[in-house]
Amino acid sequence: MTNLRYDAGEVITAMVTPFNAKKEVDYASLESVSRHLIEQKSDAVVVAGTTGECPTLTHEEEHEILYCVKSTVSGQCKVIMGAGSNSTDTAVMSSKKAQELGADAILSVVPYYNKPSQQGLIEHFGAIAKSVDLPIILYNIQGRTGIDMAPSTIAFLAKEYSNIVGVKQSNSNLDLISEIKMLCPDDFVIYSGDDSLTLPMMSIGAHGVVSVASHVIGSQIKSMIRNYKTGSVVAACNMHKILYPLFKKIFMAPNPTPIKALLSKLGIIENQVRRPLVELDEQARLELLETLQKVLRKTSNI
């Protein structure tokens, strides 16, 4: 296998930010989640990303969260900072701060709302890449940004900047994965941005997943990926089929509302999200827990 430009691992968890009843960041619970994710076999975590409710975090909170998680995991997994913005100057500033605070890499989202052209994306990410030495994983998610970064744009950035090392691709069009693989250097890494698409994307060259479900079934996702990569394709497919209902269920409401509700049922965090998100009701939380328990029972027999 080709040596990767940068390997953050196969299972990267897009980490929640726990809040208390006052909607303040709960740093004690943040430490608990960090330790829990190591137990769940996360190779890396993303802090202050979409699942971490970055739109409602202050920059000061983001920096404290990074410091807290880095201190807690103590090198047991990589810590990636969500440092994107729809302002190039802000994204550059956030990326520099992430480097200063010791992040292992940054995840940088396609600018949202202002809908730049493909040339605008090249200039945006080029400015970020020139401002830091950190590995940069691009984050392409048309459903949240309003635009799709073309495979040719991704390829141009991958060839032009050695520290642009990969892409988190949240798009169900698998032809785009094939195009990215064909156009980009062999050492450029592709991550699935959707749990349910991890195995399909891996079949055409993805390395792993930036996952939400790995908060609760990380070791099972890791097993699925390992089985696929070692040739046990049927076992990987069987695991995918077992995990699929939970993959879909944790997006029954806007992310991260469902996964936070589930983690609260497990006693790891409080069931709190910042407005404009609203908490799931008790019935929905029970449905989630029941789905998880069914998945765990089935995987325990494998």
Query: Is residue 132 in some structural domain?
Result: yes
Q: Which of 6, 139, 191, 228 is catalytic?
A: 139
* pLDDT tens-digit readout, 19-38: 999 999 999 999 999 999 99
Report pLDDT for 60. 97
Tokens of 249: 């269920």
- pLDDT confidence tier of residue 148, bands split at 50, 70 and 90: very high
Report pLDDT for 301. 78
Query: Is residue 302 in some structural domain?
Result: no
* pLDDT tens-digit readout, 173-225: 999 999 999 999 999 999 999 999 999 999 999 999 999 999 999 999 999 99
* pLDDT tens-digit readout, 51-75: 999 999 999 999 999 999 999 999 9
Query: Is residue 299 in some structural domain?
Result: no
* Number of compact structural domains in the chain: 1
Residue owning tokens 């069931």? 271
Question: How far apart are the C-alpha atoms of 195 and 249, rounded to whole Å?
Answer: 11
Backbone angles phi, psi at 207, to 5 degrees: -90, -30
Angle among Cα 179, 185, 202 to the nearest 5 degrees reads: 55
Report pLDDT for 1. 53
- pLDDT confidence tier of residue 150, bands split at 50, 70 and 90: very high
* Domain extent for 121: 11-232
Contacts 24+ apart (CB under 8 A), 54-58: 54/82, 56/274, 56/275, 57/17, 57/25
Query: Is residue 152 in some structural domain?
Result: yes
Query: Is residue 237 in some structural domain?
Result: no
Note if 168 is an active site residue.
yes
Query: Is residue 211 in some structural domain?
Result: yes
pLDDT at 302 over 80: no
Query: Is residue 61 in some structural domain?
Result: yes
Report pLDDT for 290. 97
Q: Which of 41, 70, 78, 168 is catalytic?
A: 168
Between the two ends of the chain, the Cα-to-Cα distance in Å is 28
CATH number of the domain where residue 176 is located: 3.20.20.70
Amino acid at 6: Y
pLDDT at 277 over 90: yes
Find out whether 135 and 165 touch, Cβ atoms under 8 Å: yes
Note if 191 is an active site residue.
no
pLDDT at 169 over 80: yes
pLDDT at 48 over 60: yes
Query: Is residue 196 in some structural domain?
Result: yes
Could you tell me what percent of the chain has a pLDDT over 70? 99
